[in-house]
Amino acid sequence: METAACLLGAGPICDDCLGRAFGRLGHGLTNRHRGDALRTVLAMHGVTGKHGTCWVCNGLFQHVEGWAARAAAAAQGIEFDSYLFGVRLTPRLTQMETVLEERFSTGLSEPLKHAFNREVGKAFEAKLSRGTVDLAHPHLTFVIDLPQDATELRILPVYIYGRYRKLVRGIPQTFWPCRRCRGKGCEACHFTGKQYAESVEELIAAPFLKAAQSSEAHLHGAGREDIDARMLGSGRPFVLEVASPKARSIDLPSLERQVNRTAADKVSVSGLQFVPRETVARIKEADAQKVYRALVAFEREIHPDILAKAVADLIGTIRQRTPKRVAHRRADRVRERRLLETDVTPISWGQAELRLRSEGGLYIKELISGDDGRTDPSLASTLGIPARVIELDVVDVSSDAFPD
């Protein structure tokens, strides 16, 4: 009661601020109730406060309804189940909080931010009659920016896991900005800003953007195949991140059919499911084994038995210095990766089909050609005959870390 009387004496103070100085006292009370009760009891003892704008919050708690209304307007037309409020204080408010803590310490107070966020949340929920607070993964995050007199709204992306097959060569996995203009648009790219007209990402994302009423989506792959390689078999795991979705209960089986119809002979998807954001890192960091099918051409004809032995001899650890073809964008270093399993089918004079199972990160084209000695051993060095991959397909990508 003594501290409460001091607070009243220090200047005009609102019930919310008076009450939250004792926020940990009593259950089922709002700070406003606490403040009001203290004021009543103090009045009975002849202690009365001054009228005017609260010296601690500068009237912030009177504007709770207004901020909730602004947030509700921003949430118009957006589907959500959960929300969270945050607030950026002005320097003055931060200072007053410190004064309150230091000069009128009760050891029972609730910080201004905490109390304000809760009160705005309650008012917001009451206005829309939906949504609950979620501290971990709220669909909507509002930040009330008091210095800027603005509300910021962030919408939690939707994450969808699945596998894609790329049935044609020449399509990159993700959007590539034009090399010449870096995406701005120029004559070389016909003012599209793109190096390639299509990508797996864009072909898959199109129907999702429409369904989720979003304008941005990113495909996160569990590794990526070369542009000129196909992705066959059961496909490569990916997570599609749809940014700022206005709709989130989207019909995945229907979207799967749409992708498979519209991107028909280029890309197909399967096994779509909603996943948490953490799955992106999980599939990207997964140590996946790959199975490749490589059509290889040799400079001379080779006896099938010699070829079979040379390929089998490659099983084991391969030392690879960063290939010349990717050296401009990857750090130059030597990696060791294991080739686990091989199988050879002679096709014709100087050509054979290889099936190779390896640890993730082994460069297959260089395993065959040797990349001027940068990959060791290689099929070319083992045979003593130049060899190169003329067609490459990834036929399996597997890891225990994948959700399926």
Smallest separation (angstroms) from Zn ion to the CB of 108: 17
Whose Cβ is closer to Zn ion: residue 169's or residue 180's? 180
Smallest separation (angstroms) from Zn ion to the CB of 275: 35
- What residue type is 368 in one-letter code? I
What residues contact residue 252 under an 8 Å CB cut-off, 6+ apart?
A: 160, 272, 273, 274
Per CB under 5 A, does 17 bind Zn ion? yes
Q: At what angle do helices 2-10 and 31-44 cross, to 10 degrees?
A: 90
Nearest to 303 by CA among 377, 369, 383: 383
Q: Which stretch binds Zn ion (CB under 5 A): 15-23, 42-50, 138-146, 218-226?
A: 15-23
Q: How far is CA 303 from CA 59, 309, 355, in A?
A: 89, 10, 18
Whose Cβ is closer to Zn ion: residue 17's or residue 37's? 17
267-274 and 334-348 strand pairing: unpaired
Applying CB under 5 A, among 14, 37, 259, 379 the residue interacting with Zn ion is: 14
Three-state secondary structure call for residue 131: coil
Site track 124-163 with Zn ion (rule: CB under 5 A), x = hit: ----------------------------------------
- Look at the block and give the residue holding tokens 């809760």: 118
Report the C-alpha gap between 4 and 10 in whole angstroms: 10
Smallest separation (angstroms) from Zn ion to the CB of 187: 7
Site track 172-201 with Zn ion (rule: CB under 5 A), x = hit: ------x-xx----x-xx------------
Footprint (CB under 5 A) of Zn ion, residues 103-122: none
Applying CB under 5 A, among 4, 21, 57, 275 the residue interacting with Zn ion is: 57
Smallest separation (angstroms) from Zn ion to the CB of 25: 18
Smallest separation (angstroms) from Zn ion to the CB of 178: 3
Q: How far is CA 65 from CA 76, 86, 252, in A?
A: 16, 15, 38
Whose Cβ is closer to Zn ion: residue 36's or residue 343's? 36
Q: Which stretch binds Zn ion (CB under 5 A): 9-17, 217-225, 357-365, 372-380?
A: 9-17
- CB pairs under 8 A, 24+ apart, for 92-101? 92/58, 93/57, 93/58, 93/60, 93/146, 96/55, 96/56, 96/57, 96/58, 97/56, 99/56, 100/17, 100/21, 100/56
Question: What length is written for the chain?
Answer: 404
Tell me if 242 sits within 8 A of 160, measured CB to CB.
yes
Smallest separation (angstroms) from Zn ion to the CB of 201: 18
Whose Cβ is closer to Zn ion: residue 189's or residue 203's? 189
Q: How far is CA 359 from CA 136, 338, 397, in A?
A: 35, 6, 10
Active-site residue, 15 included: no
Q: Which of 36, 134, 145, 226 is catalytic?
A: 226
Applying CB under 5 A, among 7, 54, 87, 310 the residue interacting with Zn ion is: 54
Q: Name the residues annotated as catalytic.
A: 226
Residues at the interface with Zn ion (CB under 5 A):
14, 17, 54, 56-57, 178, 180-181, 186, 188-189
